[in-house]
Structure 1
Amino acid sequence: MAVIQRPLILDVEDKPTLFTGLFLSLQHVFAMFGATILVPVLLNMPVSVALLASGVGTIIYQIATKAKVPVYLGSSFAYIAAMQIAIEQMGGDISAAQTGVIMAGLLYIVIAGIVKFAGTAWVDTILPPIVIGPMIMVIGLGLASNAVQSAGFVMDSDWRTILVAVSTFLITAFINTSAKGFMKIIPFLMGIVGGYILSILLGIVDFSVVAEARWFALPELYLPFETNTFNNYSFYFGPESWAILPIVLVTVAEHIGDHTVLGKICDREFLKEPGLKRTLIGDGAATAVSAFFGGPANTTYGENTGVIGMTRIASVSVIRNAAFIAITLSFMGKFTALISTIPAAVLGGMSILLYGVIASNGLKVMIEDKVDFNQSRNLVIASSMLVIGLGGAVFDIAGFMTLSGTALSAIIGIILNQLLPKQETEEA
């Protein structure tokens, strides 16, 4: 997709004045807020930890990249399905999910080392669009049933649940397609706000938890050891954890794409300076630290790129201050308690659009690369990945690892892409 090049108002190294900088930083916070809180709410994780991890992760990224890239890190949607499955398989225990995400973050760092010595050509060889596209589609469509249930589209559902879900969906959809300027960057946030207000009017929001919460409270951290102050979980290196690792193949490709687009906006080559090695280390370290604290995986945010493209403000100083604002919000007890009162119906309506958009982005990857489905090999690869990823296929490796869903689909796609012979374009 072509990126219209316009001169930046503030370049990467520029620092705005105090009040201007605060306003610009708040824009980034609002842009990432809806998506960042949506992931922990869907996974039944503390919102306070997600906000803390988002801010801390962004600072870690800035340190790793020598403050040369205006990137904000937020909660990743790509890991939702794998984490949900891991939590369910462990009977509600988050140990497998958190350990898996920590290992995923460390794998980023391993890949950064490989990139240093072998370059990046191997990434395109292993993960061409015909593999990446169906992988992304499986991630989105694999969550479809959860969205439908939360939205109340089941037998004997409360009409209020359906009304709230549909309203949330329509608000988000109309803002995403019709809004102008900054509003177009925050459709998820506005959808949540609109659905939440309607939920209050219909009397399906319980504010008791807000009344009981303190104004100032420590984030509800989960740590992998016993503690008297915070919750705890244990490191778990079973198959449920290992099954999360193949998701890294998708997120690394997204990482490269995000930095490429951002480089075009800023007229810089961030994959060369500070280099892909450093950006991967920053992203991976931030993800590992987030999971260690009990938060979701982190990712470079498309919303962040959208804000920079719109405002032409690429100042790393603005991004860093946005991170400090997010950290501050994580300590505001009544604020995070208020977020926890968002009804499932709001999340359901939001998720119908969100998961569909994720799946559609997989289709978009293949369309933009002009993947030719007249070629039998492409048809075989895509169809096999979709059926295996969505059909509930499970493959047990000698009791050591159980692969299913996105993980199994990704491995099948990579293997088929290497085994099946290349073909000339065939007639339909």
Structure 2
Amino acid sequence: MNNTKEVGIREIPKLDKWLVLSLQHLCAMFGATILVPYLVGLSPAVALVSSGLGTLAYLLITRGQVPAYLGSSFAFIAPIIAATAIGGPEGAMVGSFVAGLLYGLVALFIKKSGVNWLMNILPPIVVGPVIMVIGLGLAGVAIDMAMNVPGTGEYNGTLFTVALVTLAITVIASMFFKGFFGLIPILIGIVGGYTFAYIQGIVDMTPISEAAWIAMPDFIVPFVTYTPSLSWEILLIMVPIAVVTISEHIGDQMVLSKVVGKNFIKKPGLHRSILGDGVATMISSFIGGPPNTTYGENIGVIALTRVYSVFVIGGAAVMAVMFGFVGKIAALISTIPTAVMGGVSILLFGIIASSGLRMLIDNKIDFGKKRNLIISSVILVIGIGGAFIQVSDNIQIAGMALATIIGIVLNLVLPGREKVDMNAMFAEELEEERNEKSAA
């Protein structure tokens, strides 16, 4: 691996370069981060603020050693929608907070007992299909947004045309754009689709002209805007999803370790990065934003540019917080037609599902083995099919959470389970560390 770095982890670029590099990270995460709150009925401005604050907290907890940006988590889209239907957005925030607490408990246990136990209950044969469930389970949402009039379910040809044009622009940007523009195909797709929708006369620009430049986001704060209360139904919907996002987090840390050439699982340790992720989610729940997670889009930026500086990541976080207080930006986001977001979602949700498939391929999962075939098949059908267990009149374990739990159980009870060797996974980094010590 080529370890030549343009900017090291602790290096501070010159101010002009610093601003451009941070803006690049902001653009890379912007489209996906505002899409999640848009889909679940939360404030995109609050999501920007919470992603910035969460990233800064993450950098502090990991001691400025892991250059990762945290944005809105797609895994929580369906659970937030379900929790909001039961207890409103306030109930969803309580569920998010408790999910963040689970991160903390897992981090504490990892610190005491090591990381191999977690890798053994969440191997790729479980995590891969669960990630596929996240994407495919949202496919219906994307198509409904793309084809139908919001709130009515009635088909509209103009809206579907806007969605398809948006999708086409996003695909073209992903395939053919290079350099900086190649890093932001989602944002380009939204801008292009928005422009086409405006030409079609389905964009109302009034909210933008009426909005102030500086405005307070619509924060949802416990004991200020509402009195929090626990609902077992909401907790059973949201908290198990933390198992899914923790497994995603582990995958991101492994990829980032390979990109940077440092074993972040070992130093600063997986317990610190998971704790940082959990704290970011709790911060978000305190102000009314969606749960946060480390972003693969920003890891891609780091890999392409070889700019590993945590100060660049921190700069993007500060920019995100500032953008959240710009009223014109919040109003602009609110005018984006649902069809535009639907067109982007078709690709994004498909990419999520394909990422799960890629995990299975990268880890050379053998589907000639009945064990692997059974685990993946059961997870996919239960997760996508809408199966649920009715615990009581008001409590059920459904969809992604149920599929994850059953997948973990099957992995533990079926014969032929192979243990994960963390040293083997990071043999290259361990050898580099030994060489560095010998040279010193």
For residues 341 and 233 of structure 1, what CA distance do their matches in structure 2 show?
A: 31
Shift of 1:106: 1.1
3-state SS of 1:251 partner: helix
Is 1:5 the counterpart of 2:8? The answer is: no
Shift of 1:287: 0.6
For residues 233 and 369 of structure 1, what CA distance do their matches in structure 2 show?
A: 46
Is 1:414 the counterpart of 2:412? The answer is: no
Shift of 1:153: 6.3
3-state SS of 1:151 partner: helix
3-state SS of 1:299 partner: strand
For residues 256 and 375 of structure 2, what CA distance do their matches in structure 1 show?
A: 31
Given that 1:182 and 1:310 are in contact with CA atoms closer than 8 Å, whether structure 2 keeps it comes out as no
Is 1:24 the counterpart of 2:21? The answer is: yes
Q: How does 1:218-297 map to 2 (within 5 A)?
A: 218-227=216-225, 232=226, 234-297=228-291
Structure-2 residue corresponding to 1:40: 37
3-state SS of 1:10 partner: coil
Is 1:84 the counterpart of 2:106? The answer is: no
Aligned-partner residue type, residue 171 of structure 2: A
Given that 2:3 and 2:261 are in contact with CA atoms closer than 8 Å, whether structure 1 keeps it comes out as no
Shift of 1:151: 0.6
Structure-1 residue corresponding to 2:147: 152
For residues 89 and 356 of structure 1, what CA distance do their matches in structure 2 show?
A: 28
Shift of 1:410: 0.6
CA offsets 1:297-330 (integer angstroms, 9 cap, x no match): 1111111111111111111111111111111111
Moved over 6 A (4+): none
For residues 409 and 253 of structure 2, what CA distance do their matches in structure 1 show?
A: 27
**How many positions carry a matched residue from both structures?**
415
CA offsets 1:184-215 (integer angstroms, 9 cap, x no match): 22111111111001011111011121122111
CA offsets 1:64-94 (integer angstroms, 9 cap, x no match): 111121111111111111111222344xx11
Given that 1:222 and 1:233 are in contact with CA atoms closer than 8 Å, whether structure 2 keeps it comes out as no
Structure 1: gaps spanning 5 or more residues: none
For residues 196 and 400 of structure 1, what CA distance do their matches in structure 2 show?
A: 41
For residues 224 and 252 of structure 2, what CA distance do their matches in structure 1 show?
A: 38
Is 1:142 the counterpart of 2:137? The answer is: yes
Structure-2 residue corresponding to 1:122: 117
Shift of 1:148: 0.7
Q: How does 1:20-419 map to 2 (within 5 A)?
A: 20-90=17-87, 93-152=88-147, 157-227=155-225, 232=226, 234-398=228-392, 401-419=395-413
CA offsets 1:116-165 (integer angstroms, 9 cap, x no match): 11111112211111111111111111111111111116985222201110
Share of identical aligned residues, percent? 48
Worse-matched range after superposition: 377-386 or 74-83 = 377-386
Distance of aligned partners of 1:400 and 1:113 in 2 relative to their CA distance in 1, 3 Å threshold: farther
Shift of 1:257: 1.8
Structure-1 residue corresponding to 2:427: none
For residues 273 and 392 of structure 1, what CA distance do their matches in structure 2 show?
A: 40
Shift of 1:233: 6.0
For residues 394 and 155 of structure 2, what CA distance do their matches in structure 1 show?
A: 41
3-state SS of 2:290 partner: coil
Aligned-partner residue type, residue 145 of structure 2: S
Distance of aligned partners of 1:423 and 1:123 in 2 relative to their CA distance in 1, 3 Å threshold: closer
Structure 2: gaps spanning 5 or more residues: 419-440
Aligned-partner residue type, residue 138 of structure 2: L
For residues 17 and 375 of structure 2, what CA distance do their matches in structure 1 show?
A: 51
Aligned-partner residue type, residue 50 of structure 1: A
TM-score (norm 2): 0.90
Given that 2:136 and 2:353 are in contact with CA atoms closer than 8 Å, whether structure 1 keeps it comes out as yes
Given that 1:240 and 1:402 are in contact with CA atoms closer than 8 Å, whether structure 2 keeps it comes out as no
For residues 15 and 154 of structure 2, what CA distance do their matches in structure 1 show?
A: 54
CA offsets 1:27-47 (integer angstroms, 9 cap, x no match): 111111111111111112111
For residues 331 and 264 of structure 2, what CA distance do their matches in structure 1 show?
A: 38
Aligned-partner residue type, residue 71 of structure 2: G
For residues 304 and 413 of structure 2, what CA distance do their matches in structure 1 show?
A: 44
For residues 292 and 239 of structure 1, what CA distance do their matches in structure 2 show?
A: 20
Aligned-partner residue type, residue 164 of structure 2: V
For residues 63 and 264 of structure 1, what CA distance do their matches in structure 2 show?
A: 22
Shift of 1:95: 2.7
Shift of 1:401: 4.1
For residues 46 and 227 of structure 2, what CA distance do their matches in structure 1 show?
A: 15
